[in-house]
Structure 1
Amino acid sequence: VLPAVVDTAGAATSKTQVHAEAPDNTVFNWHLGDKGATEAAFKAARHVTRLDIVNNRLVPNPMEPRAAVGDYDQGEGAFTLYTTSQNPHVARLVLSAFIGIAPENKLRVIAPDVGGGFGSKIFIYAEETVCVWAAKKVGRPVKWTSDRTEAFLSDAHGRDHVTHAELAMDADGKMLAMRVHTTANLGAYLSTFSSSVPTYLYAPLLSGQYDIPAIYCEVDAVYTNTAPVDAYRGAGRPEATFVVERLVEVAARELGKDPAKFRTQNFVRKFPHQTPVIMMYDTGNYGASLKKALETIDYKGFGKRRRDSARNGKLRGIGFSAYIEACGIAPSAAVGSLGAGVGLWESAEVRVNPIGTVEVLTGSHSHGQGHETTFAQLVSDRLGVPLENVSIIHGDTDKVQMGMGTYGSRSGAVGMSAIFKAIDK
């Protein structure tokens, strides 16, 4: 039995190397923020809270496993791939431009309602590539369906971070700086978007709702002998929130402060607000939101409820999470500053037929989100046609020429915005 590396924290110091060309099992070292300003703030701090956090690896495990059917038309020299993808257009792009199966105009990808995705069906997998390649080789359609064991072993996993975080405060409990070092386990091989999850989708959220003047984050990505890690339910954003809110909670306890008041004390109050980690907040009222939540749950009466529970031999606790999630990822100054250029757009085409029916071709993909209803409602309201006369078409690269797919809670914000603009034209 060959030795294996499975420990995230110890991967860089392991004597076992996953790839000979990757010394110390290092994929990359990445950082964001002003290191000098952060170190200066820590030197001036009266109190520093330190925390070690493990965000364990998760398996997406949708009820509907991945599947693919590849077909080859010898007369046309063209391929058709039926696959369980959240992003058929990107699947076509990867198969064409990077794997070299065929030019895009000779490759049709069809992704019907594929069931649960949770991020794990965004990527291109080896089985899809093999199906279309083998279909040409054997001269007939080739089908593959994953079983549950295969899904656990080969679907891209999520999370798997080991983090050391520090929060610097002055004598009054005002946050001065945050310092974060994360080791991200990316598995044995890089998946499609694995490098962006613990970096661009993670570090810019470390400011949370708080006015923190300086933040510095370092990320060391490592190889291990495990399944690849990629986007899963929030993809980097929940990992950042977990770090920030655990750090804030522990800091409040160390300072002897009420956790709600400590958060309110450090919330951003003036807008627009430029964070130290790229993001610009245009507006918000975080204090009012928390105040309303505290009133709704009768926070003032919580102490009595806890004492009553204790008399009955039960424990009662309360937790807080005041967070910001970057959703609806689209072309923006923030995305552009990270190198995305003009990408992350969405496409839409609205056709009005002679008999009064309407077809909407969208690059967003529906796999449980209800696009067939919500998108149709938008068109029905804007055009004044009956809802039942509106058809939503998606998931077919021959019918919808371009698209960016569904992920990151972007279908409403970006996909519906594209439809809205198409209607107005």
Structure 2
Amino acid sequence: MKKFGVGQPLRRFEDQRLLTGEGSYTDDQRPEGALQAVVLRSPHAHAVLASIDCEDARAFPGVRAVYTHAELDAAGIGDIPCLTLFPGKGGKQAITPGHPVLARGKVRHVGDPVAFVVAETLEQAQDAAEAIMVDFDDLEAVVDLEAAIAPGAPQVFDEVPGNVCFDWDIGDAAKTEALLESAERVVELSLVNSRIVVNSLEPRNAIGEYDPASGRFTLTTSTQGVFKLRDQLADKIFKLPRDRFRVLTPDVGGGFGMKIFLYAEQVLVLFAARDLGLPVVWNGTRSESFQSDSQGRDHLSKVRVGLDAQGRMKALHVSTLANLGGYLSNFGPYIPTAAGAKMLSGLYGLEAVYCEVKCVLTHTVPVDAYRGAGRPEAAYLLERLADYAATEIGLTPEEFRRRNFIPKTAMPFDTATGITYDSGDFTRVMERALEKADWSGSVSRKEAAAKAGRYRGIGIGCYIEACAGIGEEEARVRLDEDGGMTVFVGTQTNGQGHATAYAQIMAEQIGIDPAMVRLRQGDSDELSQGSGTGGSRSLLMGRLAIEGASEKVIERLRRIAGFLLEAAPEDIELADAKFAIVGTDRHVGLAEIARKVYAQSESLPEALRGEVLEAHIAKNPPLTYPNGCHVCELEIDPETGRLIIDRYTVVDDFGTIVNPLLVAGQVHGGLAQGLGQALLEVTAYDPESGQLLTGSFMDYGMPRADDMPRIDLEFIQDIPCATNPFGIKGAGEAGAIGAPPAIVNALVDALKPLGVRHLDMPVTPEKLWRLANGLGDQKGEAAE
């Protein structure tokens, strides 16, 4: 292990710059002469656009243009595409109604963009937007999943009968049903996975520029990867060659899935920049984020599990309704189906699984990937089911899991949903978590709390997810003039610490000082392709690409060093960033090689001159399967409903870890988001009008510092992934997957004396107070 190489807890290089105000975000960019834009959004969830009168607005001082769908349609601007289409039941494809950049004919959720106003100042654009006269013919809206598929429900699109745009299934229906019929016991449970607003620290934004001389567009915007946006803009929106578009992403203040996708404003700033001949800037507000950023989760699932006489799960049947909102976002149908439902075997040796998913349109903000993207939904379902079933048949939660875990000796294991786990020791991971959490001592702590008038509970949340080996990735590595190295890669840091991790990888491979490694991301002109950041893919895919490019650079440098040292390249070895003749102390360092190369030294053969820059594209390897166990222990004060998480333990198997500090940060951040969903966060719409009721932080609960417990965290690193050369499994989303079931299971355990068997998220202090004081049902709803 090198001093600064793989496995070392190196502090992040990025932090000094970012924490001292030296970061450069999209909002820090201001091209000369830039105009300012605002979006006029629908105040209605469902209405006909009878007319839009923009004439008064266009006459306002400073206003340069007001655009509606009419101007975009006349210019041939395409709709925002759904990128993940695949067969459903019987080979039938999803119905994909249009997703116009500006509303056409109807609006389909509160916040649907109707007009785009461009003016010299923000205030002028805002004033003009208020002067636009829109005649809305208000229509009945539907926001609830079950109501949306009921007979006679308002239709989001006429071409989507019953509001079901995609009907999909996976698994063996006949085998599952046969095993359920022969089971000793069948346990049933209904679960809600509540809707989340993503709320990244940095709201969305976009700057559009157009160069009439070259005919090139430049979009600067906060993203999780520039290449998918470039390709959509070229192929689907403007229908121009890809080399006519450059997409730039500077520093990014959080993404969590939401910043992967193409949004209307990114199209509109480019359209306006071309039309007006000046740069156009749009900066979203927090209120707009609530109404326009893709939201997460929002599932309703009904589950049946068949058990044998020993409490072993044999078969699982899941029926899920997944809310996709008013339009199909880029990956919308993929998240509840192929991304999530394939993980419904979880850590358990089920013989059969059958899952059917109906993707439903409603008059709400579109839903897409949010941290974990389907895997948190699957893990929450399975882990709540495990606790619920254990109680039903008289087993403890830990014993139920012991009886059902896939054993280590069964690896590699083919699951009933058609995926193969390459490695894992789920029993060992859980037992270690129980030991660290002092699970056996929780009984006495619960008794002590009861004597003090408080309810105390403890819960387990085990998980496994699929990640990392997604898409292809390109990297280029360049020797710089000072002997440092620049790494160009198609991933995109959103705060994860890529600059530090990639520098450690270079230090491991070449021996270079990590401080001499520069990272370049977020410029579609610097690489030919890249799949961005999402699905915990960056470290594995980035490392594969970077090391592939570095190997080519090393080979070229070995040839140059051989010439300078008058030795054959095969007699040159690399150690600590120095190329030496094997068995001697004669060597040449990177800085000296760089001086020779960049001086275009006549002493170098022509074949060895010129910039040292090599590229490599990593092809998608098999998926990896990180797993772990969360244990939450908490107390509830019945007089106030206040909850205190007293102990929180996490044991994760992430395979080989490049930087434990970075991984710990990812787990802590994910856990905060999982805690938020379990206890505080919910996106609520009025069922009659479709109005967003939680449209600001005044109404939408976010976790704060004092909501977070101290986390006792441990990594198991001696079970490497068997399907990639580094043993990496991925870590970025794990905290958000394990936390919700662990917390809700602990809450149910605490409230068992009150007869509570299940709780739906979020379990707010109000719900807890109602339950503790006999004012609600088992889910904390108000009693009639």
| Map of 1:155 onto structure 2 | 293
How far apart are the structure 1 equivalents of 2:499 and 2:437?
36
Counterpart residue identity of residue 155, structure 1: D
| Map of 2:133 onto structure 1 | none
| Map of 1:288 onto structure 2 | 428
Spell out, residue by residue over 1:250-289, the C-alpha distance to the aligned partner (whole angstroms, 9 max, x if none). 0000001011011011110112110010210122111111
1:423 and 2:560 correspond: no
Q: Is the CA contact (8 Å cut-off) linking 1:27 and 1:223 kept in structure 2?
A: yes
| Map of 1:391 onto structure 2 | 518
3-state DSSP of counterpart to 2:232: helix
After TM superposition, give the deviation of residue 354 of structure 1 in Å: 4.3
1:364 and 2:502 correspond: no
3-state DSSP of counterpart to 1:419: helix
3-state DSSP of counterpart to 1:200: helix
3-state DSSP of counterpart to 2:208: strand
How far apart are the structure 1 equivalents of 2:155 and 2:345?
35
3-state DSSP of counterpart to 2:546: helix
How far apart are the structure 2 equivalents of 1:81 and 1:54?
39
- Give the one of 225, 228, 238 matched to 1:87: 225
Moved more, 63-72 or 415-424: 415-424
- Give the one of 291, 294, 310 matched to 1:172: 310
| Map of 2:659 onto structure 1 | none
Q: Counterparts of 1:13-412 in structure 2 under 5 Å?
A: 13=150, 14-100=152-238, 102-269=240-407, 270-330=410-470, 344-412=471-539
How far apart are the structure 1 equivalents of 2:514 and 2:381?
45
1:10 and 2:147 correspond: yes
Q: Is the CA contact (8 Å cut-off) linking 2:224 and 2:259 kept in structure 1?
A: yes
3-state DSSP of counterpart to 1:10: helix
Spell out, residue by residue over 1:133-178, the C-alpha distance to the aligned partner (whole angstroms, 9 max, x if none). 1100011101101111111000000001010011110111111100
How far apart are the structure 2 equivalents of 1:389 and 1:296?
40
How far apart are the structure 1 equivalents of 2:515 and 2:301?
51
After TM superposition, give the deviation of residue 30 of structure 1 in Å: 0.0
How far apart are the structure 1 equivalents of 2:481 and 2:418?
49
Spell out, residue by residue over 1:8-50, the C-alpha distance to the aligned partner (whole angstroms, 9 max, x if none). 1221114311101110011110000000100000010011110
Q: Is the CA contact (8 Å cut-off) linking 1:394 and 1:400 kept in structure 2?
A: no
3-state DSSP of counterpart to 2:431: helix
Counterpart residue identity of residue 279, structure 1: I
Q: Is the CA contact (8 Å cut-off) linking 1:82 and 1:109 kept in structure 2?
A: yes
How far apart are the structure 1 equivalents of 2:472 and 2:359?
28
3-state DSSP of counterpart to 1:291: helix
Counterpart residue identity of residue 442, structure 2: F
| Map of 1:334 onto structure 2 | none
Q: Is the CA contact (8 Å cut-off) linking 1:357 and 1:390 kept in structure 2?
A: yes
How far apart are the structure 2 equivalents of 1:147 and 1:24?
34
Spell out, residue by residue over 1:60-88, the C-alpha distance to the aligned partner (whole angstroms, 9 max, x if none). 01121100000000001111000111111
After TM superposition, give the deviation of residue 402 of structure 1 in Å: 1.1
How far apart are the structure 2 equivalents of 1:281 and 1:367?
29
How far apart are the structure 1 equivalents of 2:316 and 2:509?
47
How far apart are the structure 2 equivalents of 1:36 and 1:15?
32
How far apart are the structure 1 equivalents of 2:154 and 2:429?
50
Counterpart residue identity of residue 36, structure 1: A
Q: Is the CA contact (8 Å cut-off) linking 1:166 and 1:247 kept in structure 2?
A: no
How far apart are the structure 2 equivalents of 1:380 and 1:285?
31
- How much identity, in percent, do the aligned residues show? 44
After TM superposition, give the deviation of residue 313 of structure 1 in Å: 1.1
How far apart are the structure 1 equivalents of 2:164 and 2:433?
44
| Map of 1:413 onto structure 2 | 540
Moved more, 57-66 or 414-423: 414-423
How far apart are the structure 2 equivalents of 1:386 and 1:172?
57
Q: Is the CA contact (8 Å cut-off) linking 1:177 and 1:212 kept in structure 2?
A: yes
Structure with bigger RCO (C-alpha 8 Å, 6+ apart): 1
3-state DSSP of counterpart to 1:48: strand
After TM superposition, give the deviation of residue 380 of structure 1 in Å: 2.3
Spell out, residue by residue over 1:289-341, the C-alpha distance to the aligned partner (whole angstroms, 9 max, x if none). 111111112222211111111111111101111110112132xxxxxxxxxxx
After TM superposition, give the deviation of residue 416 of structure 1 in Å: 1.7
Counterpart residue identity of residue 320, structure 1: I
Counterpart residue identity of residue 417, structure 2: V
How far apart are the structure 2 equivalents of 1:113 and 1:27?
37
Q: Give the number of aligned pairs.
A: 412
Q: Is the CA contact (8 Å cut-off) linking 2:202 and 2:253 kept in structure 1?
A: yes
Q: Is the CA contact (8 Å cut-off) linking 2:147 and 2:153 kept in structure 1?
A: no
How far apart are the structure 2 equivalents of 1:328 and 1:406?
10
Q: CA RMSD in A?
A: 1.1
How far apart are the structure 2 equivalents of 1:422 and 1:263?
44
- Normalised by the length of structure 2, the TM-score is 0.52
Counterpart residue identity of residue 530, structure 2: G
How far apart are the structure 2 equivalents of 1:53 and 1:226?
20
How far apart are the structure 1 equivalents of 2:480 and 2:469?
32
Counterpart residue identity of residue 193, structure 2: N
After TM superposition, give the deviation of residue 101 of structure 1 in Å: 5.1
Larger radius of gyration: 2
How far apart are the structure 2 equivalents of 1:295 and 1:249?
19
Counterpart residue identity of residue 288, structure 2: E
How far apart are the structure 2 equivalents of 1:308 and 1:329?
48
Counterpart residue identity of residue 292, structure 1: R
Q: Is the CA contact (8 Å cut-off) linking 2:206 and 2:266 kept in structure 1?
A: yes
Q: Is the CA contact (8 Å cut-off) linking 1:28 and 1:220 kept in structure 2?
A: yes
- Normalised by the length of structure 1, the TM-score is 0.95
How far apart are the structure 2 equivalents of 1:67 and 1:354?
35
After TM superposition, give the deviation of residue 389 of structure 1 in Å: 1.6
Q: Is the CA contact (8 Å cut-off) linking 1:120 and 1:157 kept in structure 2?
A: yes
How far apart are the structure 2 equivalents of 1:49 and 1:119?
34
Q: Is the CA contact (8 Å cut-off) linking 2:390 and 2:397 kept in structure 1?
A: yes
Q: Is the CA contact (8 Å cut-off) linking 1:101 and 1:133 kept in structure 2?
A: no
After TM superposition, give the deviation of residue 400 of structure 1 in Å: 2.4
3-state DSSP of counterpart to 1:16: coil
Counterpart residue identity of residue 386, structure 1: D
Structure 1 gaps, min length 5:
331-343
